[in-house]
Amino acid sequence: MEDSSLFPISRRDLLIAGASSAAATAVPATAADPAPVETPVVSRVTLDVNGTSRTLEVDTRTTLLDALREHLHLTGTKKGCDQGQCGACTVLVNGRRVVSCLSLAVMNAGARVTTIEGLGTPTSLHPMQAAFIRHDGYQCGYCTPGQICSAVGVLDEIRRGVPSHASQDITAQPLLTAAELRERMSGNLCRCGAYSNIVDAITEVAGART
Ligand code: FES
Ligand code: FES
């Protein structure tokens, strides 16, 4: 039996007040509903891929990597992290290395894209491909297409005098040191740890060119 002189509000009133307050602060059921699915915007894009003009109809959100692998079936370019951290997807766009998972296909309209399939063929290897084989610059090979495309881009950067974080003098022609090559190739990860042999392969090609 409750003594109303000590508790002017009955337990029943308190429970009703608590329930009303909880209902007032509850998240409306509609807030958890999934966002409406938007219709993809499709765009036509033409790329020069390995010397051949290719026109694709792609969702504008399609990365260059997915356009190459899923639309053109050029699976030599690998998808590792899909967020710009491993370098497995590196290709050359207008001769410059690009991580294709961070570039949209539509951003590259009209560009000249070179993948590992376009660098050389089994019977006519690109010098960098041949050097990787000679120096054992790979084990499982998953990172290798990206490493080779990146290495070709690195030598072009050095030839054009682009400095790196490892350059002692950013106004001078970069030197072909192992430190320079390691710094420039640092965006290309190799879980097999073939780094030393990769540097040897690049050094050989660079030496052959100078
Ligand atoms: Fe593009 Fe890893 S897949 S950087
Ligand atoms: Fe296996 Fe580089 S060769 S990850």
- Report pLDDT digits (tens) over 26-37: 555 566 677 777
Mutate to test the pocket of ligand 1, among 97, 99, 191 (most ligand atoms within 8 A of CB): 99
Pairing of strands 112-114, 42-49: parallel
Rg (CA), the chain: 29
Evaluate: CB of 75 within 6 angstroms of ligand 2.
no
CB within 8 Å of 166: residues ≥ 6 apart = 177, 179, 180, 182, 183, 184
Same domain, 103 and 124: no
Q: Please check whether residue 99 is in contact with residue 87, taking contact to mean a CB–CB distance below 8 angstroms.
A: yes
| Separation of CA 58 and ligand 2 centre (Å) | 31
Q: Which domain holds residue 83?
A: 40-119
List the CATH number of the domain containing 148.
Answer: 1.10.150.120
CATH of the domain at 57: 3.10.20.30
102 and 163 belong to one structural domain: no
**Does the predicted model carry a pTM greater than 0.85?**
no
132 and 93 within one domain: no
Contact 78, 146 (CB under 8 A): yes
> pLDDT tens, 79-130?
999 999 999 999 999 999 999 999 999 999 999 999 999 999 999 999 999 9
With a pLDDT cut of 70, the percent of the chain lying above it is 83
Query: Are both 103 and 148 inside the same structural domain?
Result: no
Q: Are residues 86 and 130 in the same domain?
A: no
What was the pLDDT predicted at 1? 45
The count of domains in the chain is 2
